[in-house]
Amino acid sequence: MTDSTPADPTEQEGRGARRRDAAVTRQAILDAAVAAFTRHGYDGVGVRDIARNAGVTAMLINRYFGSKERLFAEAVDVAFAPRTVISGTGADLPRATARALVTRTAPDAEELGPFLLLLRSAANPSAAAIMREAIARHAGRHLTEELSDGVSAELMLAVQAGVWLMRSVLGTTALAEGEPEELAGRIESLFQVLVTPDGPGSR
């Protein structure tokens, strides 16, 4: 659980404590929380780990966020809010999104992404409820208005989550070590089926 990044000494002091600033500290905690929850899941990190990586004490988390669960809720919001879960628009959407998915799940990708957070915290029912709401609020709405159909939108999320699971979490051989180009093409075909209202159903 020791995550290397110790305290972010980018402020100015070479060593010792940083200047006291509630907003900055709060943000540091939130950043550390997103990273930690994404890497180890809700139950996998303790507030002490997050606090250490933010350069503060565990109790400060409770002062600023009330509880670990409320911190998680904010972290989920951060993880799902800025980044889009789809790439491209219109006809280019399947291709762009498939490419982005393969790239972001590459073994050497350092950006972790919201799906990792989703998968690793899915076991905890409270965490699952929080994430469901966040998905409905951000990604789901965005996807639905682009795809005009809720089922298609959530199936697209499902495919992405599944690929992320196999490739990044489990590391199954075929998907993790396969040729990125081929894989992207296969996934693009899947997305293609989803964006077309309901074309050639069988074969």
Site for DNA, rule CB under 7 A: 1, 17, 19-22, 25, 45-49, 55-60, 62-63, 67-69
Q: How would DSSP label each residue in 178-199?
A: S-HHHHHHHHHHHHHHHHSSS-
Count helices and strands in the chain by DSSP H and E runs: 11, 0
Q: Which are the contacts of 125, defined by CB distance < 8 A and separation ≥ 6?
A: none
Judged by CB under 8 A, the residue of 122, 141, 145, 148 near a second copy is: 122
Contact (Cβ atoms closer than 8 angstroms) between residue 151 and residue 175: no
120 binds a second copy (CB under 8 A): yes
Closest separation in Å from C-beta 62 to DNA:
5
Question: Is 62 or 144 the residue whose CB approaches DNA more closely?
Answer: 62
Burial bucket for residue 28 (CB in 10 Å: 0-12, 13-18, 19+):
buried
Residues 88, 90: Cα–Cα separation, whole Å? 7
User: Radius of gyration (Cα) for the chain, nearest Å?
Assistant: 19
6 binds a second copy (CB under 8 A): no
Closest separation in Å from C-beta 67 to DNA:
3
Question: Is 34 or 45 the residue whose CB approaches DNA more closely?
Answer: 45
Question: Is 55 or 94 the residue whose CB approaches a second copy more closely?
Answer: 94
Residues 31, 51: Cα–Cα separation, whole Å? 11
Closest separation in Å from C-beta 135 to DNA:
23
Binding residues for a second copy, rule: CB under 8 A, are 40-44, 95, 118-124, 128, 131-132, 135-136, 140, 150-155, 157-163, 165-166, 169-175, 178, 182-183, 185-190, 192-194, 196, 198, 201-203
